[in-house]
């Protein structure tokens, strides 16, 4: 007699006419590794109600600022936040925090707590917490913390002891003696990033069962000489045995100087050891408009694997992946193409335009998304310091060399500034901007299909799952549209707390993070209590 599972599988096979789509984890930001903001999850809610608890499975409390997107793997959910609602009374004060919750219950399993950089508030902006989404590969969790460190964590935390080689969690989590408020924000103050100085051993906090187990650390400041700015936002890309990481190199507190022009924008580490194996050789540093916040993506183009990355200089690059582990010295990444996203913008001495809302260089926050031999990229003037102009561009990813003049398939003007990564679904491209508009564009030719005015800026990316488009805004409004050629707003919810995180779906549940709470939304769920 066939099992229920095999009947369900058979029904899925015949019903869909294609490979069955089963509930799955979401172990990295976007799809692996095109970074398309699309999920194959089904049966997700059309609406929910925080007042009655309808369609809510559970709610977990976060800090007060959450700019990180929830990531789900192997029964656990990871999200970065701050420490303004301390989960552990031993950790008090401003910290970067990564929380790990039980997927089923929303209970906290463990957390990584990282002291802030206190040399200059511009190195590690007060109260912003850990902004990077994690990437989970097997039982290892990769992320870039608030101090500009690439960290490899044990998904099981300390439940099976303190695994190495890194065993100095006590020093890592203990703030310096006399730690307190960061110095005043003084533009032009001559301050350099300094290493963490833990207190003497006897005064250090000791890791307990709810603290993270760090396996290795690579410090981007000490290791490749970056100048951190505002906060790290990197989503690590795993390709074979290697991690591709945008470094976060940026301007200093004047917003007019690059202190580390030689520092790389993209580095490659051995995922097993954290050893540096390669870095870009594109001399992007002097032209970084604000900081290096675009994370890499990857795809095979005509049978050839490529790593895509957009620099803080507004140029989209493709590199060959690292194939061999070199024993001596870091390898330079081999470039396959470069595409200047804004060729008419000024290219030299770009920081003289800092604060100019009318003209100046472009940079790129969202990820370059690969879909069917094309790259879709949103970019334009910096949201805080640059011109208002922004675009969604479609690039032919099959070309090589300098492809600025021959690879642009189409360009679509956006409203004012863009932070989003596009979602490509069913011949449509969805993106949202900081001019408070959601856009639906024909993927083939870039023609506008519909727009919708939203109440706040979109810092999150639109996310397509179950035929719906999910998007939260900085005004605290959450929108659910039909992901189709015709505009249809299915529902909207006023959460009254700003949203920076992209919504994610895994195993039949949708995860939505506001600044203060993580909602697990599930069809038919009724919330019992906040965890």
> How many CB atoms sit inside 10 A of residue 80's CB?
35
Count the residues of the shown chain that bind Ca ion, applying the rule CB under 5 A.
Answer: 4
SS3 434: coil
Query: Looking at 292-447, which runs of residues are DSSP E strands?
Result: 297-301, 304-310, 315-319, 331-332, 335-340, 369-371, 374-380, 390-396, 401-402, 408-413, 423-425, 428-432, 437-442
Kindly state the smallest distance separating residue 484's Cβ from Ca ion, in Å: 48
Nearer to Ca ion among residue 215 and residue 512 (C-beta): 215
Q: How far is CA 530 from CA 57, 59, 476, in A?
A: 10, 5, 19
Kindly state the smallest distance separating residue 158's Cβ from Ca ion, in Å: 8
The answer to whether the beta carbons of residues 395 and 322 sit under 8 Å apart is: no
Positions in 112-171 near Ca ion (CB under 5 A)? 162, 166
User: In the numeric block, which tokens belong to residue 317?
Assistant: 């690059």
Kindly state the smallest distance separating residue 206's Cβ from Ca ion, in Å: 13
Kindly state the smallest distance separating residue 222's Cβ from Ca ion, in Å: 19
Positions in 51-80 near Ca ion (CB under 5 A)? none
The answer to whether the beta carbons of residues 378 and 392 sit under 8 Å apart is: yes
Nearer to Ca ion among residue 214 and residue 318 (C-beta): 214
User: In the numeric block, which tokens belong to residue 516?
Assistant: 């203060």
Nearer to Ca ion among residue 120 and residue 213 (C-beta): 213
Kindly state the smallest distance separating residue 167's Cβ from Ca ion, in Å: 5
User: In the numeric block, which tokens belong to residue 263?
Assistant: 């520092």
Q: Which residues contact 96 (CB under 8 A, 6 or more apart)?
A: 80, 82, 83, 112, 113, 114, 115, 116, 124, 129, 130, 145, 146, 147
Nearer to Ca ion among residue 216 and residue 391 (C-beta): 216
Per-residue string for binding with Ca ion, 204-233, x by CB under 5 A? ---------xx-------------------
Nearer to Ca ion among residue 140 and residue 357 (C-beta): 140
Nearer to Ca ion among residue 214 and residue 289 (C-beta): 214
209-227 CB burial, b ≥16 within 10 A, e <16: ebbbbbbbbbbbbebbbbb
Nearer to Ca ion among residue 152 and residue 397 (C-beta): 152
SS3 370: strand
Residue 171 CA to residue 198 CA, distance in Å, equals 5
Nearer to Ca ion among residue 177 and residue 206 (C-beta): 206
Can you give the three-state secondary structure of 461-500, one letter per residue?
CCEEECCEEEEECCCCEEEEEECCCCCCEEEEEECCCCCC
Kindly state the smallest distance separating residue 184's Cβ from Ca ion, in Å: 36
Nearer to Ca ion among residue 151 and residue 364 (C-beta): 151
Positions in 388-417 near Ca ion (CB under 5 A)? none
Residue 114 CA to residue 130 CA, distance in Å, equals 9
> How many CB atoms sit inside 10 A of residue 99's CB?
28
Kindly state the smallest distance separating residue 228's Cβ from Ca ion, in Å: 24
Kindly state the smallest distance separating residue 468's Cβ from Ca ion, in Å: 41
Kindly state the smallest distance separating residue 169's Cβ from Ca ion, in Å: 6
Q: Hey, what's the torsion of the CAs at 201, 202, 203, 205, to 10 degrees?
A: 70
Q: Which residues bind Ca ion (CB under 5 A)?
A: 162, 166, 213-214
């Amino acid at each position: 007699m066939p099992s229920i599972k095999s009947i369900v599988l058979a029904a899925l096979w015949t019903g869909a006419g294609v490979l069955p789509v089963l509930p799955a984890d979401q172990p990295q930001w976007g799809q692996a590794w095109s970074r398309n903001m699309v999920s194959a999850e089904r049966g997700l809610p059309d609406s929910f109600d925080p007042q009655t608890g309808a369609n809510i499975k559970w709610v977990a409390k976060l800090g007060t600022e959450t700019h990180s997107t929830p990531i789900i793997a192997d029964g656990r959910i990871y999200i970065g936040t701050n420490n303004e609602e301390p989960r552990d009374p031993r950790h008090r004060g401003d910290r970067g925090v990564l929380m790990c919750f039980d997927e089923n219950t929303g209970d906290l399993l463990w957390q990584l707590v990282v002291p802030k950089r206190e040399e200059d508030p511009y190195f590690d902006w007060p109260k912003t917490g850990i902004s990077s989404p994690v990437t989970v590969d097997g039982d290892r969790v990769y992320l870039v913390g608030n101090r500009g460190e690439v960290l490899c964590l044990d998904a099981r935390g300390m439940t099976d002891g303190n695994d190495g080689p890194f065993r100095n969690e006590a020093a890592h989590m203990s703030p310096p003696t006399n730690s307190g408020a960061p110095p005043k924000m003084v533009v032009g103050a001559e301050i350099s990033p300094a290493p963490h100085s833990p207190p003497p051993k006897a005064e250090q906090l000791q890791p307990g069962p709810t603290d993270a187990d760090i396996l290795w650390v690579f410090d981007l400041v000490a290791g490749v000489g970056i100048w951190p700015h505002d906060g790290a936002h990197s989503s690590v890309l795993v390709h074979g045995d290697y991690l591709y990481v945008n470094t976060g190199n940026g301007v200093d507190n004047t917003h007019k100087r690059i202190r580390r022009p030689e520092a790389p924008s993209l580095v490659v580490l051995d995922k097993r050891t954290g050893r540096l194996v390669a870095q870009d050789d594109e001399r992007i540093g002097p032209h970084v408009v604000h900081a290096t916040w675009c994370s890499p993506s990857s795809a095979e183009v005509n049978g050839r694997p490529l790593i895509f990355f957009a620099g803080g200089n507004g140029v989209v690059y493709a590199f060959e992946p690292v194939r061999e582990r070199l024993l001596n010295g870091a390898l330079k990444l081999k470039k396959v193409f470069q595409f200047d996203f804004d060729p008419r913008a000024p290219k030299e001495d770009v920081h003289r335009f800092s604060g100019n809302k009318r003209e100046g260089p472009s940079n790129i926050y969202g990820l370059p998304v690969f879909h069917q031999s094309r790259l879709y990229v949103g970019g334009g003037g910096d949201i805080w310091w640059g011109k208002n102009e922004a675009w969604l561009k479609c690039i032919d990813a099959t070309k090589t060399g300098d492809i600025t003049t021959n690879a642009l398939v189409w360009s679509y003007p956006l409203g004012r500034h863009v932070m989003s990564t596009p979602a490509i679904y069913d011949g449509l491209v969805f993106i949202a901007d900081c001019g408070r508009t959601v856009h639906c564009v024909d993927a083939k030719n870039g023609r506008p299909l519909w727009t919708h005015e939203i109440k706040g800026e979109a810092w999150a990316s639109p996310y397509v799952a179950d035929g719906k488009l999910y998007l939260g805004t900085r005004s605290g409004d959450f929108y659910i549209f039909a992901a189709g050629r015709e505009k249809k707003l299915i529902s909207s919810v006023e959460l009254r707390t700003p949203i920076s995180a992209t919504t994610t779906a895994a195993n039949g549940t949708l995860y939505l993070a506001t600044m203060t709470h993580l909602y697990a939304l599930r069809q038919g769920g009724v919330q019992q209590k906040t965890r």
